[in-house]
Amino acid sequence: MKKSLLALAVLGAFAGAAQAQSSVTIYGIVDTGIAYSSKVTGAPGGGTGSKFGVNSGVIQGSRIGFKGVEDLGGGLSAVFNLEAGFTNDDGGLQGSDNVTSSNLFRRKSVVGLAGGFGTVLLGRQTDFADTISAYTSVNDFGGVVNNSGSGLSRLQGVRTNNSINYTTTNLSGFTGNLIYGFGETAGKTSAGQSFGIGGKYDNGPLGLGINYYQSKAGATPSDVSLIPITAVGATPAATNVYTNAANVGSSAQKVLNVVASYQFGPARVYANYSRVKQDLNTIGTAGFTSARTLGASKKADMYEVGTSYALSPSLKLLAAVDHTRADIDGSGTKGKLTQISLGADYWLSKRTDLYAFVSNMRATDMINPGVTGGSTGSDASQTAIITGIRHKF
């Protein structure tokens, strides 16, 4: 009897130790706002009109995730992260980058190893542009500034399927990253292939980041997951050849991001520049005007300056200016987008905040995609007002 009790005690101790060495965390974000947009196409009888709606994922995409770690000993750990996106305004799954909403863990689906060497992850994941976006307006305004350029420049977080990602440990403030996406096409390794390299430096109030990402044309629509949805574009008059067999293996998109941020007491100021080249984009002469979208451009240069100011530990005032110049047809004629955004973010607790934004986007010689709610359909100005609530758990 005593031996049995001793054996049970020993087994219980081992079980407790094993449990202490591994953990699984369930987490998530529910972010919903009420939005007003002016001059949105699709009004009854044609033309544009004002639009009101309830939007999911205003600042951050609503999501539920599972992440875990197991201590393997010797400083080595097994890690995983599964993250599903959803639209809580209608209860649906958030659509994948370009194709369908059937991907359950479309936001992230990775497993790997972590240790003194850094972290290696395999699966579907973002490149380092998503990490350094913390130094940009994406950190404060999220999806509100998506359409003026940060969606195309990958700062909003675009996923790469079938990828391997390596991130170093923090080396005196510096962190580096490499990512490689397998095209998985028999007989042609370069088809649908992608790769990226990035780094950031944190030193007290100073934050610097740089990232380069390149993807190549694939042979099937599934390869399009390497390209942002805005680049797959989206108008019948535009000819996009990311999945054209004649261009398989050719460079489809090249993206460079350079970002900087500095904290002056209660104020954070930041500036950044991105360039996106899409040499395979072509636009025919038919319907040329209606095809002048940012996603259909051959080259786009994006500039941003902004600030956030903490009036109190709970309340921040926000401002950002985004300007993009896009070469649509390769002739040198530039379409322009300018977005001015103002906002306030008030934290009721560490996990719940209320926000309010007003943003205006103007277009010249290209289609205005609109801040939210839809395009204006012509070179025009659109104003959006959004207020909402975000809860993290």
> What is the share, in percent, of the chain residues with pLDDT greater than 90?
67
Q: Does residue 62 carry a pLDDT above 90?
A: yes
pLDDT digits (tens, 9 = 90+) for 293-333: 888 888 999 999 999 999 999 999 999 999 999 998 766 67
Per-residue pLDDT, 329? 73
Q: pLDDT tens digits, residue range 235-293?
A: 322 333 355 556 788 888 999 999 999 999 999 999 999 999 998 887 644 344 557 88
Give the separation between CA 139 and CA 124, rounded to whole angstroms.
22
Q: What was the pLDDT predicted at 221?
A: 54
Kindly report, residue by residue over 187-219, the tens digit of the pLDDT. Answer: 888 888 999 999 999 999 999 999 999 999 887
Percent of the chain having pLDDT more than 70?
83
CB 34 within 8 A of CB 355: no
According to the model, what pLDDT value does residue 217 have?
A: 85
Evaluate if pTM is beyond 0.85: yes
Strand partners, 321: 305, 340
Chain segment 146-201, per-residue pLDDT in tens: 999 999 999 999 999 999 999 999 999 999 999 999 988 888 888 889 999 999 99
Query: Would the pLDDT of 80 be above 60?
Result: yes
pLDDT of amino acid 95: 65
Q: For domain 25-392, is the CATH number 2.40.160.10?
A: yes
- Which CA distances in Å does 25 have to 50, 108, 286? 42, 15, 53
The sign one gets for the Cα dihedral 309, 338, 157, 259 is negative
For residues 29-63, one letter each, b for 16 or more C-beta atoms within 10 angstroms of the residue's C-beta and e for the rest, the string is bbbbbebbbbbbbeeeeeebeebeeebbbbbbbbb
98-131 per-position pLDDT tens digit: 444 568 899 999 999 999 999 999 999 999 999 9
Distance from C-alpha of 295 to C-alpha of 242, rounded to nearest angstrom: 12
Indicate the average pLDDT of the chain: 86
